[in-house]
Amino acid sequence: MKIAMIGSGYVGLVSGACFADFGHQVICVDKEKSKIDKLDNNIMPIYEPGLAGLVQRNVEAGRLSFSTNLGESVNDCDAVFIAVGTPSRRGDGHADLSYVYAAAEEIADAVTKPTVIVTKSTVPVGTGDEVELILSRKLPADQFAVVSNPEFLREGAAIDDFKRPDRIVIGAEVEWAKEVMSEIYRPLFLNQSPILFTGRRTAELIKYAANAFLATKITFINEIADLCENVGADVQEVSRGIGLDNRIGAKFLHAGPGYGGSCFPKDTLALLKTAQDNESPVRIVEAVVQVNDQRKRAMGRKVIQALGGEARDKKIALLGLTFKPNTDDMRDAPAIAIAQTLNDAGAQVVAYDPEGMAVASEIMPDVEMTESSYDAAKDADAVVIVTEWDAFRALDLEQLKATMAGDVLVDLRNIYHPADVAKTGLRYTSIGRNA
């Protein structure tokens, strides 16, 4: 089938490349010419393991191409996916849908045959209705159908998530649109990936509910970690003990400095706004957002406490800046609030991250970027592991200590065993454990 993907950012590019790998003819569209120029030269605008090879393979096979011209790209397509950004709107936290609606306007001017218009972007409940209204002003009812098809991609594992999904959610109101979507996803259906057909508004809410629930699990175990520290328990054993209950599950029960990234912060806020607008408040999610925001700066104070309560004129090295490993995404990363807290306390903050420093240097101008973990640790009073990159899991701790001026290691991801660190003479602080 012929598919146009409007928006060539994280979701659009990964989805478009995977659809092309299924055998579909895909064109990815973006208004940012520099991004399309890079893609034409196989330069990825984001870091995602395996993406460059996937894109190159399908471009060479003639199944994947790129364009800045939306009108020419969509006029003969079976399906047009809207995968533009929906950032949090300033002031109220609601999703900014201006890019979605602008894309719908352009699509309405360009389609020339019955076409399924699919919202792949994460959008609040009722957005599909508005997209349908925009299209109906210019197109007859039998020439389009609006479908919701939310994405569930984890940064760092997006290609595998797309090709081996837990589920595919399709919110459609008309039968012929379901048939088109079934054909698009037929390779996954043959692999027995569950496809859930539902109403459009239900599909829109599924995405927000899923992310809010995962954010709640993260926040829950982080609060349990604080309790563990105060009562002498081990949060990792608590996590294992409750995660073995298949009603709960082990995923997203890893204590740390709080959630960040492109999805959880903005999606929880958007869900709160939708709930408030519909006079149906979600108090649990309200608490999750509040607790998570407070936790990030609390991690900065935890580092200061590990230094004896004083950080002024101390040099502190942060290992890891991105909100999670295997991405260069710095959106709402805990490292931002941690660094700010340390800077406010008078510390000199240096950092190293395998992929995120180019983006981080623009967001964190007061943080000095270095070339390696050991460069960051040179003459540092404390080293803080913020993101659990594999490169940090096997540090030579004796070399690290020899490089440092001080002896404080703060592990905000619990990637080391306290006993192993103790052998090196480092003073070790972790999350939710007696260390």
How much is the pLDDT for 189? Answer: 80
How much is the pLDDT for 91? Answer: 67
Q: Band of the pLDDT at 89, cuts 50, 70, 90? A: confident
Q: Could you give the C-alpha distances from 388 to 37, 110, 256, 413, in angstroms and in order?
A: 33, 46, 10, 6
**Do residues 428 and 416 touch, judged by C-beta distance below 8 A?**
yes
Contacts with 137 (C-beta within 8 Å, 6 or more apart), sequence order: 108
Instruction: Give the Cα separation of 375 and 369 in Å (integer).
Output: 9
Tell me the mean pLDDT in the region 273-277: 94
Number of C-beta neighbours around residue 210 at 10 A: 17
The DSSP secondary-structure symbol of 95 reads B
**Residue of 18, 28, 77, 263 with catalytic role:** 263
Instruction: Give the Cα separation of 180 and 167 in Å (integer).
Output: 18
For the chain, domains (ranges, CATH) are 2-198 (3.40.50.720), 200-435 (3.40.50.720)
**Do residues 55 and 42 touch, judged by C-beta distance below 8 A?**
yes
Instruction: Give the Cα separation of 380 and 318 in Å (integer).
Output: 10
Tokens, residue 345: 């306390």
Number of C-beta neighbours around residue 309 at 10 A: 9
Sign of CA dihedral 191, 194, 200, 204: negative
Residue-wise pLDDT tens digits, 328-373: 999 999 999 999 999 999 999 999 999 999 999 999 999 999 999 9
How much is the pLDDT for 123? Answer: 96
Higher-pLDDT residue of 24, 112: 24
User: Is 18 assigned a catalytic role?
Assistant: no
Number of C-beta neighbours around residue 291 at 10 A: 18
Mean pLDDT of the chain: 96
Instruction: Give the Cα separation of 399 and 23 in Å (integer).
Output: 51
How much is the pLDDT for 269? Answer: 94
Residue 389 falls in which region: left (phi positive, over 0), alpha (psi -120 to 50) or beta: beta
Instruction: Identify the three-state secondary structure at position 119.
Output: strand
How much is the pLDDT for 170? Answer: 98
**Do residues 401 and 425 touch, judged by C-beta distance below 8 A?**
yes
Instruction: Look up the pTM and report it.
Output: 0.93
Percent of the chain topping pLDDT 70: 100
Higher-pLDDT residue of 89, 82: 82
Instruction: Give the Cα separation of 48 and 130 in Å (integer).
Output: 32
How much is the pLDDT for 157? Answer: 95
Instruction: Give the Cα separation of 353 and 55 in Å (integer).
Output: 25
Task: Compute CA 190 distance to the chain's CA centroid, rounded to the nearest angstrom.
Answer: 28
**Do residues 116 and 147 touch, judged by C-beta distance below 8 A?**
yes
Residue-wise pLDDT tens digits, 369-415: 999 999 999 999 999 999 999 999 999 999 999 999 999 999 999 99
